Structure 1
Amino acid sequence: MKALSLVGANTIGLIEYSLTHTLPADGVEIDIVMSGICGTDLAVLAGREEGQTGIVRGHEAVGIIVRVGEGVKTLRPGMRVVIDPNEYCGSCSPCISAQTHLCTGGAQQGLDIAGVNKHGTFANRFITRERFVHCLPDDMTWETGVLIEPVACILNNIDQAAIKPGERVLLLGSGPMSLVAQLLLRAMGVETVATDLNTFRVAFGSALGLTVIHPQSLELNRPEHEKFDAVIDTVGNQLDAAAQVVRRAGRILLFGFNGNYQFSLPVKHFLVNAISVIAAGEYNQHFPRAIRLAHKLPELGKLVTHRYSLEAYSIAFDALLNDPSAPMVKCVFTPNPDYL
């Protein structure tokens, strides 16, 4: 079958790929219907993050079960499902302490993450284990379902920052993850403002009833009462701006990935103003809650603006990496389009 693998440093390519024919007792084999292109995939190809060569990429995916192992109890062929790519071991000390996001029992002494350090979902089929597969509601679209993993990521950050109804949150950047966050926060009763350089995304967010502005319109030297309770850096290099607009005792959330970015911390400013910097890490058992919330937000599916076959990968990545003004939001691969 076909798959998209990291074939070299910062280079992805279409390969022939074979799954094992032996299914573990708790194994689940899934035809992938949609798999989302994530910002981390783009960061690897742009050289902002390292990636393991030889690994099939892709970690945001929905599909249909085609085969289950003899020990599988809750799933059966034909079910529409979403995949949790963070495959914790369940037996190491962090897992036993209900901190599965800090798992140390994987093959590389950490989480085994599909599409990152083990083969992922940019492929026709994918095999995982029963506990990492969750059923989709019958009336949920594939487009909404493919955003459940991003919803789980956002929920983890909202929880870690203790964001509450009535607060004001600034999101620096308004890409797919930021838009997911804005929709979730709005549903919680949180007021959001987001920035983006891409005029299409500014208009797109506005069409959803969100407040998205050009960064030049963001007033940095604002009085204390106009500053934000929390600022989320979804770009990965905006901590200087965040520090200027977060209120005293506010929170800055590190969310975007950029391994090349360094920030010189103004320690006294952070101490005197009691500003917290929060790095939430991977989500921790958030999938069931993410599914419930996504079910109440069908507008999430509107974020999926472009669909590509695996063979058209170069067109998708070229637009996402090289055209900052491209009129696109969330792009997905459709390895098995007959299901759509």
Structure 2
Amino acid sequence: MKAISLVSARTLSLVSHEACKTLPTDGIEIDIVLSGICGTDLAVLSGREEGQVGIVRGHEAVGVVVNVGAGVKRIRKGMRVVIDPNEYCGNCEHCNAAKTHLCSGGSHAALNIAGVNKHGTFAERFITHERFVHGIPDDMSWETAVLVEPVACILNNIEQASIKAGERVLLLGSGPMSLVAQILLRAMGVHTCATDLNTFRIEFGHALGLNIVRPEELECLGQNHEKYDVVIDTVGNQLETAASRVARGGRIVLFGFNGNYEYSLPAKHFLVNAISIIAAGEYNQHFPRALRIAHRLPELGKLVTHRYPLEAYSAAFDSLLNDPCAPTIKSVFTPNPTHLSR
């Protein structure tokens, strides 16, 4: 089958990839319908993060079940499903302590993550275990469903930062994950403001009723002294700005990935102002709740603006990596487009 693999440190290629020929007893084989391009994929290709060479990328995906193992009880052939890519072992000390996001029992003594350290979903078919597969409601669009994994990521960070209704949250950057966060936070009764440099993203957010401004506008309109209960760095290199905008007793959430970024912590400032830094890590059993919440927020599906066949991977990534003003929000691959009419 066709798949998109990382063939060198910063290079992708369309390859012929064969999935496991023997389906595990609890195995589920899935035709991938949509698989989203994530910021972590872009971080690997731009050199901000390391990627495991030889791995089929992709970890945000939905599809149709085409085969099930003999011991499968909950999932049926023909079901529309969303895939949880975080394959915890269920047996290590962390999993036994209900901290599956810290799993140390995977093949690399860590959590097995599809598209990161094991083959992922930028492929025509994908095989996983039943506990990592969830049925999609009949009235949920493919586009909304493919954002369930991002919703799980956001929920984890919201919980770890103890964000609650009535609080004021500033999000630095308005890429796809930030827009998902803004939609979720708004639904919770949280007041949000976000920044971005991309005019298309700003106008797109406005069309959804979101408050997004250019970074320099925070210094205008009387907002130069405004502080926020929580500041979320969705870019991965904005801690200095976050520290200047967070209120006393507030929280800064690390969300964007940039392995090259370093920040000199003004320890006394953080100490005397009781500012917390939150690093939530991977989500922990958030998928079922994320699916329920996404079902109530069908507008999430509007974030999917571009669809590409696997063969067009180069055009898809070139646009996202090389054009900071591209009129794009969420791009997805469509390995099996014939299923899209369902």
TM-score by structure 1 length? Answer: 0.99
2:53 matched to which residue of 1? 53
Note if 1:7 corresponds to 2:7.
yes
Cα deviation digits, residues 42-97 of structure 1 (max 9, x gap):
00000000000000000000000000000000011000000000000000011000
1:197 matched to which residue of 2? 197
Note if 1:108 corresponds to 2:108.
yes
Say whether the 8 Å CA contact 1:33–1:337 is kept in structure 2.
Answer: yes
* Superposition pairs of residues 160-309 of structure 1, within 5 angstroms: 160-219=160-219, 222-223=224-225, 226-309=226-309
SS of alignment partner, residue 25 of structure 1? coil
Shift of 1:27: 0.3
Moved over 2 A (4+): 219-223
SS of alignment partner, residue 280 of structure 1? coil
Cα deviation digits, residues 191-241 of structure 1 (max 9, x gap):
000000000000000000000011111129843xx3100000000000000
Cα deviation digits, residues 257-303 of structure 1 (max 9, x gap):
00000000000000010000000000000000000000000000000
Letter in 1 for 2:261: Y
Letter in 2 for 1:257: F
* Superposition pairs of residues 296-335 of structure 1, within 5 angstroms: 296-335=296-335
1:88 matched to which residue of 2? 88
Note if 1:130 corresponds to 2:125.
no
Counterpart Cα distance in 1 of 2:329 and 2:73 = 38
SS of alignment partner, residue 4 of structure 2? strand
Say whether the 8 Å CA contact 2:218–2:224 is kept in structure 1.
Answer: no
Shift of 1:19: 1.2
Letter in 1 for 2:190: V
SS of alignment partner, residue 155 of structure 2? helix
Letter in 1 for 2:337: P
Say whether the 8 Å CA contact 1:169–1:229 is kept in structure 2.
Answer: yes
Letter in 2 for 1:27: G
Counterpart Cα distance in 1 of 2:128 and 2:99 = 21
Letter in 1 for 2:83: I
SS of alignment partner, residue 295 of structure 1? helix
Counterpart Cα distance in 1 of 2:254 and 2:218 = 19
SS of alignment partner, residue 219 of structure 2? coil
2:154 matched to which residue of 1? 154
Cα deviation digits, residues 132-171 of structure 1 (max 9, x gap):
0000111000000000000000000000000000000000
Say whether the 8 Å CA contact 1:4–1:14 is kept in structure 2.
Answer: yes
2:97 matched to which residue of 1? 97
Aligned residues: 338
Letter in 2 for 1:206: H
Shift of 1:21: 1.6
Q: Percent identity?
A: 74
Say whether the 8 Å CA contact 1:222–1:245 is kept in structure 2.
Answer: no
1:117 matched to which residue of 2? 117
TM-score by structure 2 length? Answer: 0.98
Cα deviation digits, residues 97-117 of structure 1 (max 9, x gap):
000000000000110000000
Counterpart Cα distance in 1 of 2:224 and 2:54 = 49
Counterpart Cα distance in 2 of 1:267 and 1:163 = 24
Structure 2: give runs of 5+ residues left out of the alignment.
Answer: none
SS of alignment partner, residue 218 of structure 1? helix
Structure 1: give runs of 5+ residues left out of the alignment.
Answer: none
